[in-house]
């Protein structure tokens, strides 16, 4: 690494800010602890005095209640010490130099070039990612603990050796950052705050039992809760301060580590891997989603990484992305094809800068080295397929199957995946025009208009782009309205490369709404021409009434979907309390509301199952989930044991998810019927 990596003023400033915020937290927490000790001693003295003035049952209760106030507040502040936190590394496989000599030699060369220490241990995981971590975040605050390296096979599977070198150089750039130790402090600060504020079920139950002894202890518990609410408010403010400052630093650390990588390989390999990252990740997720839908058929994968590679290259071809040496060459234009937003502001809660900003910073280094040889990173491993199989087994290890499991070969996966893809995708003649929008709502006057051009000209890339621009404008306007309402705490933002302040938001919204209206008029005009063009073709074939009927059927389905979507969203809201810690009284009240709402939900499921058409398109998985749910009268909470019944809740939530998927499936089928009918008119 010949060039010198610079430390930016912003990096230094954010490092100081992060350190100061941690110091402030320590001061605030110790102050609260000291005050609670003083309060405990004071309450102990007062309580003891009350009991010794005249010893009988009432003074005993008063004394215990007063002493309890101090003790309960002190326990609230120190209860995190007694919370055991275990780190689960069961998804990782450690690899050694004896097992992977070429990889270790490869890593050692990067370590020397970056001038840092070799990792303590090297692990592989299934992720589309690479990262560094400590065995103990606690001891890393005080001792020079060596870091471990974790490399995801989902990442290795989709990059070249030169790109992997750049990625690992980026991670080793973190090795050299002393500011990484700040992350250990923030991690432990967050553990304290989170446990103190949120993980308090057993503490709340203890408070409730204490309050139930008598009116006096109830009053004491009420005082304790007031104190606790105040402490929680203070700690929440500290959480915001500490994490915002640390996340600012984290973003600068990413830029710095990127520059380290650019000095090792030049900026291009890291740039190309960043551009492909979204495709790599979505391909991996597609494999996981595929097998999630196969659980009820007792089907798993032999090797998810081969399947990830297949989907990645298939999607690349579908989107006209060039493939070199089995690696898709994603460009910034491909990345932004569906994202036409021009609004840009730094999220205070983001740990990484966005891809575009990272690439822009990389390009500014202008460091060019040898071209990428495009050798697959998988070739660095002695037996990559063995590791891939082991990690595939780990991915599926927690899945509970109801019978004998069948493993799909790559060929079986491709056949099934492509069958599903064709069922859920629209004909290529539409060029993606209907991927994120529906056909226009039929109006009587549309069949009186006349389109004279070529129908295929109505689905050009320009026409498709108008849709994505319109959707981006809608999204930007919505975000700007939230900024105007101060839902986002920001002082300024960029729009189309121009900086704006909060006072400019209203005028910008008005401008964008006018622009949105123009694009929507263009899209509406094009939709009318599409309807007119296909209607004329239908009329020539004496299928005009059939055409109008199938349009009307789709619109009826669309209206039904909107109503059902609103219904299920409202039903889901009635289950949201389960995600939070609540008192027993609130849980019982909310559950009664849920049980009442379930009556209609179960009725809707029964109607679907008994309908011949709907039943014919229900998957076996959906039928099994709904049958199990409908055949049981579940109790979701055991009051005596103070815990939820997980199996019952899983049945409920699985049924809700299947309902949501089903109503979308119906709409897609109706839409596909309409679009297939139109396509056949062209033949």
Name the more confident of 201 and 522.
522
b/e sequence 272-297, b meaning 16+ C-beta within 10 Å:
bbbbbbebbbebbebbbebbeebbbb
**Angle, helix 215-265 to helix 101-114, in steps of 10 degrees:** 90
Mean predicted lDDT score pLDDT of the chain: 87
pLDDT of the residue at 148: 87
In this prediction, residue 198 has a pLDDT band, given cuts at 50, 70 and 90, of low
pLDDT at 473 over 90: yes
Tokens of 576: 């949201």
Q: Given this model, what pLDDT does residue 446 score? A: 61
* CA–CA separation, 69 and 220 (whole Å): 6
Q: Give first-to-last CA distance, the chain, whole Å.
A: 62
Residue 139 — very low, low, confident or very high, per pLDDT cuts 50/70/90?
Answer: very low
Q: What is the mean pLDDT of residues 87-91?
A: 76
Least confident of 149-163, 168-182, 280-294, 484-498: 168-182
C-alpha 90/C-alpha 84 separation (Å) is 18
pLDDT at position 649 is: 94
pLDDT at 350 over 90: no
- Work out the average pLDDT over 649-664: 95
Going by pLDDT thresholds of 50, 70 and 90, the confidence category of residue 475 is very high
pLDDT of residue 347: 62
The confidence score (pLDDT) of residue 52 equals 82
Can you tell me which residue has the tokens 């690696």?
Answer: 327
Q: Note the pLDDT of residue 142.
A: 46
* pLDDT number for residue 225: 84
Q: Give the pLDDT confidence score for residue 344 in this predicted structure.
A: 78
Tell me the CA distances in angstroms from 263 to 5, 141, 354, 410, 498, one per residue in order: 8, 29, 21, 39, 31
Going by pLDDT thresholds of 50, 70 and 90, the confidence category of residue 153 is very high
Q: Do residues 548 and 442 make contact, with C-beta atoms less than 8 angstroms apart?
A: yes
Please compute the mean of the pLDDT values over residues 599-608 and round it to a whole number: 96
Q: What pLDDT, on the 0 to 100 scale, is given for residue 145?
A: 62
Average pLDDT, integer, range 278-297: 94
Quickly state the pLDDT bin for 106 (edges 50, 70, 90): very high
For residue 200, pLDDT over 70 is answered with no
DSSP string, 424-451: HS--GGGTTTTSSS-PPPP-GGGGG---
Q: Is the pLDDT of residue 31 over 50?
A: yes
Q: What are phi and psi of 198, to 5 degrees?
A: -110, -40
pLDDT of residue 144: 53
- pLDDT number for residue 312: 97
Mean pLDDT of all residues in 411-437:
93
In whole angstroms, give the CA distance from residue 581 to residue 644.
11
Sorting pLDDT into bands at 50, 70 and 90, what band is 554? very high
Across residues 376-391, what is the average pLDDT? Answer: 95
Burial-class residue 392 by CB neighbours within 10 Å (0-12, 13-18, 19+): buried
Residue % of the chain over a pLDDT of 70? 90
Tokens matching residue 81: 């010490």
Condensed to tens digits (0 to 9), the pLDDT of residues 355-370 reads: 888 999 999 999 998 8
Task: Please write the tens of the pLDDT for every residue from 619-649.
Answer: 888 999 999 999 999 999 988 777 889 899 9
Residues 6+ apart with CB under 8 A from 193: 235, 236, 238, 239
CA distance 406 to 419: 19
Strand, helix or coil at 149? strand
pLDDT exceeding 90 applies to what percent of the chain?
Answer: 55
Q: To 5 degrees, how large is the angle CA 330–CA 334–CA 335?
A: 85
Higher pLDDT, 341 or 161: 161
**Would you state the pLDDT for residue 261?**
93
**Cβ-based neighbour number of residue 514 at 10 Å:** 9
pLDDT above 60 (res 140): no
Residue 184 pLDDT > 60 = no
In the predicted model, is pLDDT for residue 2 greater than 60? no
| Least confident residue range of 84-88, 404-408, 596-600 | 84-88
pLDDT band at 602 (very low <50, low <70, confident <90, very high): very high
Average pLDDT over residues 568-578: 95
pLDDT in tens, 48-62: 888 887 777 778 878
Average the pLDDT over each of 137-141, 656-660, 679-683 and give the range with the smallest value: 137-141
Contact indicator for 74, 186 with CB cutoff of 8 Å? no
Q: Is the pLDDT score of 539 beyond 60?
A: yes
205 vs 468, residue with greater confidence: 468
């Amino acid at each position: 690494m010949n060039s010198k990596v610079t430390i930016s003023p912003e990096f230094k400033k954010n490092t100081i800010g992060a350190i100061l915020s941690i110091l402030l937290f320590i001061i605030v927490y110790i102050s609260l602890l000291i005050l609670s000790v003083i309060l405990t001693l004071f309450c102990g003295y007062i309580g003891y005095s009350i009991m010794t003035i005249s010893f009988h049952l009432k003074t005993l209760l008063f004394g215990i209640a007063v002493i309890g106030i101090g003790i309960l507040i002190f326990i609230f502040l120190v209860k995190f010490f007694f919370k055991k936190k275990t780190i689960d590394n069961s998804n990782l496989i450690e690899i050694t130099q004896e097992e992977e000599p070429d990889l270790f030699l490869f890593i050692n060369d990067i370590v020397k070039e970056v001038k840092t220490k070799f990792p303590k241990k090297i692990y592989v995981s299934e992720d589309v990612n690479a990262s560094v971590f400590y065995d103990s975040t606690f001891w890393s605050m005080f001792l020079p603990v060596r870091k471990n390296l974790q490399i995801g096979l989902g990442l290795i599977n989709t990059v070249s050796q030169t790109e992997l070198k750049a990625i690992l150089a980026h991670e080793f750039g973190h090795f050299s950052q002393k500011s990484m130790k700040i992350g250990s402090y923030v991690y432990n600060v967050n553990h304290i705050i989170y446990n103190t504020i949120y993980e308090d079920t057993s503490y709340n139950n203890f408070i409730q039992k204490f309050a139930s002894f008598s009116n006096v202890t109830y009053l004491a518990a009420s005082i304790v809760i007031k104190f606790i609410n105040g402490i929680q408010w203070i700690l929440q403010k500290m959480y915001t301060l500490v994490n915002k400052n640390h996340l600012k630093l984290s973003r600068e650390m990413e830029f710095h580590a990127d520059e380290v990588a650019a000095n090792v390989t030049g900026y291009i390999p890291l740039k190309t891997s960043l551009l492909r990252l979204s495709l790599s990740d979505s391909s991996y997720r597609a494999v996981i989603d595929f097998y999630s839908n196969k659980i009820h058929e007792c089907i798993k994968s032999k090797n998810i990484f081969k399947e990830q590679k297949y989907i990645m290259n298939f999607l690349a071809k579908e989107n006209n992305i060039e493939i070199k040496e089995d690696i898709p060459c994603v460009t910034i234009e491909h990345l932004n094809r569906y994202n036409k937003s021009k609004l840009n502001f730094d999220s205070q809660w983001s740990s990484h800068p966005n891809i575009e900003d990272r690439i822009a910073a990389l390009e500014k280094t202008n460091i060019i080295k040898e071209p990428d040889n495009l050798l697959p990173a998988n070739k660095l491993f002695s037996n990559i397929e063995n590791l891939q199989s082991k990690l595939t087994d780990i991915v599926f290890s927690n899945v509970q199957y109801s019978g004998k499991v069948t493993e799909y070969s790559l060929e079986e996966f491709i056949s099934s995946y492509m069958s599903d893809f064709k069922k859920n995708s629209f004909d290529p003649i539409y060029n993606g025009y209907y991927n994120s929008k529906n056909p226009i709502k039929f109006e009587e006057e549309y069949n009186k208009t006349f389109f004279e051009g070529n129908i295929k000209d109505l689905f050009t890339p320009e026409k498709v782009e108008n849709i994505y621009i319109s959707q981006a404008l809608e999204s930007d306007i919505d975000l700007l309205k939230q900024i105007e309402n101060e839902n986002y705490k920001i002082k300024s933002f960029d729009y189309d490369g121009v900086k704006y302040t909060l006072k400019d938001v209203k005028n910008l919204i008005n401008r964008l709404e006018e622009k949105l209206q123009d694009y929507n008029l263009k899209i509406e005009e094009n939709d009318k021409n599409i309807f007119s063009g296909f209607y004329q073709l239908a009329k020539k074939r004496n299928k005009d009434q059939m055409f109008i009927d199938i349009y009307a059927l789709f619109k009826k389905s669309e209206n039904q979907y909107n109503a059902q979507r609103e219904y299920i969203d409202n039903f889901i809201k009635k289950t949201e309390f389960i995600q939070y810690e609540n008192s027993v009284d609130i849980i019982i009240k909310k559950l009664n509301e849920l049980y009442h709402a379930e009556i209609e939900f179960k009725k809707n499921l029964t109607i679907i199952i008994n309908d011949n058409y709907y039943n014919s398109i229900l998957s076996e998985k959906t039928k099994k989930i709904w049958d199990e749910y409908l055949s049981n009268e579940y109790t979701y909470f055991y009051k005596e044991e103070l815990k939820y019944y997980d199996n019952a809740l899983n049945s409920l939530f699985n049924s809700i998810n299947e309902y949501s998927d089903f109503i979308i499936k119906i709409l897609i089928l109706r839409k596909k019927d309409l679009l297939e009918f139109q396509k056949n008119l062209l033949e």
